[in-house]
A and B are shown apart, each in its own frame.
Chain A
Amino acid sequence: MSPPPEQVLDSRLASGSPPRLTAPRRNRGGRGMHHHRYGYVFAAPFLACFALLFVLPLGYAFYLSLFKNQLVGGTVFAGLANYSRALTDGLLLAGVGRVSLFFVLQVPLMLALALLAALAIDSGLLRLTRLIRLGIFIPYAVPAVVATLMWGYLYGPDFGPAAQLAAKIGVTAPDFLGNTLLLPAIANVVTWEFTGYNMIVLYAALRTVPRELYEAAAVDGAGAWRIAWSIKVPALRPALLLCLMFSVIGSFQLFTEPNLLQTLAPTVIGAGYTPNLYAYNLAFISQEPDYAAAVSFLLGLVMVIISYVVLYLAGRRSRR
């Protein structure tokens, strides 16, 4: 019996290989692969939009990034000057450092929580499984804007419950929006938003592991913890890598949370708090579109390179 299509999707994507970024070999299609020009007919709308809305903006941004606006002389060709400026720009580098720290702080914690939750739900040892699974996933439905507003108010000194409780017992609540705690506070918002999402990815991957493996292990005397550690966790490696990769991207493009918290913590969150916030401020506040284009282009490029390196390493590891 062939599995229902959704499950094919599951196993191919969730558990399975991270996206293959190489083209398939020619001639691998068997019968049913003729009628050449209809391939173009079907693919044309997507390819046209892709060219216009993906390739063209990137190309245009690259073109703009080669120019510079000067007080004397107006816009002049500057070669790679914007790029060398970006690579030595203290504000940008500090932002990159900050999101890297954020990544180190937040992502392992979030993925560990997601992994534990997925294993717990898959273990068959829980009561209320459906409620727990859905409930943990629900924050993903909440827009980052609303999540940040909620947590921002909860952190706040005016009517946040922490501040209220502290006032009641006569102590000062920690300043969640101060210099030291702000980054962990943002990490908490992001963890709240995305743990459930990662849990679902991992849980879907777990469900593609053949159940017979568990039964065989149980017959051999392995307990639930042993099965989780020795069978399930290794089987989850590709899915964990996928989560990790999307988390790298998520950390580096951090914008909504710091942008909204800026009004609550204006002295802590400066123009270059995250690289993305910096690019935004360059383009819209300090009116340097050429430089903003260079910074965006650079960020996108770095992301693609990191992703390829992760994929490459993952591929090499699993072939070994």
Chain B
Amino acid sequence: MNAPRPVTTLRGRSNLLTLAMLVFLAYAFFPLFWLLVSSTKTTGDLFSTFGLWFGHRFALLDNIRQTFSYAHGEYLRWLANTFVYSVTSALGAACLATLGGYGFAKYVFRGRGALLGAVLGTIMVPATALAIPTYLLFSKAGLVNTPWAVILPSLVSPFGFFLMWVYARDAVHDSLLDAARIDGAGELAIFFRVSLRSLVPGFVTVVLFTLVATWNNYFLPLIMLSDPKYFPVTVGLSVWESQTAGGGGSNSALLSMVVTGSMLSVIPLIVAFVFLQRYWQSGLSAGAIKE
């Protein structure tokens, strides 16, 4: 949204409307503010001091140290897993969707219509309805409890394919392709030298929404993985939470680590959101994912 556009200001600014939206903004920030404040508290202060303000001692650094060092640094490992799973899935899914969408958009081949209908018909199959069937298949194939169990299912995104198919039709001009062919370029060379450049914005969009989906995914890794060393941070945090006193366990020292770990885990995506606003708005407008 960097491009300037003529804003038709009809009646100046409205303070009332601004105030209403600031209330909304406060609602959006409220739990995050609580999380930030709570991550600076000792477990004792969490219980004994008011939740929406700081405690007696500023224990943020202690909490961070504790979070990273607990159980031989499993938290750091979970963060790294999340990073690897989501980046691999996002790049893989975007490459497959881009190549596939381009192929369907720019070439006529036998069975194209039927194949297209088959793929697009599955856009509305919810990811969670597919997860248990995939688990059953993967356990037969011996793939469960490996990183592949999380990465492979994230590689196929019918919605990403749909997006790239539409995108390639509009963004890659046939006249450019014809001109390159007349110059004697091969089809693969044309793709890499001519078409790819035009496809990049769509590609980035698919990368971003698959990245968010995988980063935030819980159901799939929960059912696929049993060894804590493979957990992404979402599953790891839920396991820690279940061991705290509130979660039915007995380890109340873990509580401040659940809070601090939650706080740290949301930083990367929030930073990405702030810096990549332009792409989010075009990409997520496509209605990408919702889990």
Contact = CB atoms under 8 A, between A and B. Distances in A.
Interface of A: 4-10, 12-14, 19-27, 29-47, 49-50, 53-54, 56-58, 60-61, 64, 113, 117, 120-121, 123-128, 131-132, 134-147, 149-151, 153-154, 156, 158-161, 164, 192, 194, 196-197, 200-201, 203-205, 207, 211, 214-215, 218, 223-224, 227, 242-243, 245-247, 249-250, 252-253, 255-256, 259-260, 263-264, 266, 276, 279-280, 283-284, 289, 292-293, 296-297, 299-300, 303-304, 307-308
Nearest to A212: B8
Contacts of B133: 57-58, 60-61, 293, 296-297
- Name the 8 nearest CB pairs between A and B, nearest first: A42-B103, A32-B174, A46-B100, A39-B107, A61-B133, A204-B285, A14-B285, A300-B129
B69 to A, nearest CB: 21
B74 to A, nearest CB: 16
Given A50-B156, A149-B241, 11 more contacts: A9-B167, A32-B106, A38-B188, A45-B96, A49-B96, A138-B29, A144-B291, A253-B127, A260-B238, A260-B241, A264-B246
A81 to B, nearest CB: 18
A279 to B, nearest CB: 6
Interface string B106-147: 111110111111011111111111111111110010000000
Contacts of A140: 212, 273, 284
A304 B124 contact: yes
Contact of A53 (B11, B152, B242): B152
Contact of B28 (A4, A39, A196): A196
Given A5-B198, A10-B285, A139 B216 contact: no
A223 B10 contact: yes
A93 to B, nearest CB: 17
B155 interface: yes
A283 B135 contact: yes
B85 interface: no
A53 B270 contact: no
Nearest to A160: B51
25 contacts: A6-B279, A9-B282, A32-B175, A35-B107, A39-B103, A46-B99, A54-B122, A56-B137, A61-B133, A124-B10, A125-B12, A126-B17, A127-B15, A132-B22, A134-B277, A136-B21, A138-B270, A141-B212, A143-B215, A153-B38, A204-B281, A207-B5, A245-B124, A280-B223, A296-B130
Contacts of A211: 5-6, 8
B: contact size bracket: 35 or more
A54 B286 contact: no
Secondary structure type dominating chain B contacts: helix
A260 B248 CA distance: 12
Interface of B: 3, 5-15, 17-18, 20-22, 24-25, 27-29, 31-32, 34-35, 38, 46-47, 50-52, 95-97, 99-100, 102-104, 106-110, 112-117, 119-137, 140, 152-153, 155-156, 158-159, 161-163, 166-167, 170-171, 174-175, 177-178, 187-188, 191, 198, 201-202, 205, 212, 215-216, 218-219, 222-223, 233-235, 237-238, 241-242, 246-248, 258-259, 262, 265-266, 269-270, 272-274, 277-287, 290-291
Contacts of A142: 32, 216, 266, 269-270
Contacts of A223: 10-11
B10 A218 contact: yes
Nearest to B261: A146
A108 to B, nearest CB: 17
Given A13-B166, A159-B46, A283-B132, A41 B32 contact: no
A117 B132 contact: no
A40 B103 contact: yes
